[in-house]
Amino acid sequence: MILTRVRCARVLQLTLAIIKPDAVAHPLILEALHQKILENSFIIVRRKDLIWRRSDSERFYAEHKGRFFYQRLVEFMSSGPMRAYILAREDAITHWRELMGPTKVYRARYTSPRTIRAQYGLTDTRNTTHGSDSPESAEREIAFFFPEFSVQHWLEMEEPCFRAGH
Ligand code: UDP
């Protein structure tokens, strides 16, 4: 799957973003994060509210199996509703990860206090958000959450500038 296309002279990249259960549990934080997405010129390509079974959580985080935080992470991510987005913009992967800030909340608070995790994160595990870390993981994670999604179909049928031929 090719993840970049030109949109009105912009090169779009897709990423998978999750608002994790700790943030979805607080309507004001959920709304603030949704606004953050819009303020940063992301196109919301798809959006889905869902609850994971434990087995979904284990599959998604399989690469972390055996690490000290794995059980805690798997438990947390299947503990309640979350929201997943496919987002598009220039440098979507890097931009969303910069907005999130460092994985560890205490580090985020010291080094990047304006980031999402610094502002809203509770612990290193309950750190509000996820974002794909490479084009390969974006492709895999988009397929995990949105197996019915076709980037080609989206570009041809829904993406306005592409459709308009710009
Ligand atoms: N995590 C944790 N403790 C750690 C490191 C990671 O609980 O010491 C959790 C945290 O929720 C993190 C997720 O595991 O978001 C995935 O870790 P990764 O290293 O992939 O960080 P991310 O890409 O989310 O910043």
Amino acid at 27: P
How far, in Å, is the centroid of ligand 1 from the Cα of 157? 36
Three-state SS annotation for 110-134: HHCCCCHHHHHCCCCCCCCEEECCC
Q: Which of 22, 52, 73, 93 to probe ligand 1 with, by most ligand atoms within 8 A of CB?
A: 73
pTM: 0.92
Domain 4-158 in this protein, CATH class: alpha beta
The tens digit of pLDDT for each residue in 121-153 reads 999 999 999 999 999 999 999 999 999 999 999
How far, in Å, is the centroid of ligand 1 from the Cα of 126? 9
The dihedral over CA atoms of 85, 142, 92, 89, expressed in degrees to the nearest 10, equals -70
Q: Confidence class of residue 162 from pLDDT cuts 50, 70 and 90?
A: low
* Ligand 1 atom with least separation from CA of 133: 23
* Residues lining ligand 1, Cβ inside 6 A: 69, 72-73, 103, 124-125, 127, 130, 133
The tens digit of pLDDT for each residue in 32-91 reads 999 999 999 999 999 999 999 999 999 999 999 999 999 999 999 999 999 999 999 999
Ramachandran region, residue 41 (left: φ > 0; alpha: ψ -120 to 50; beta: rest)? left
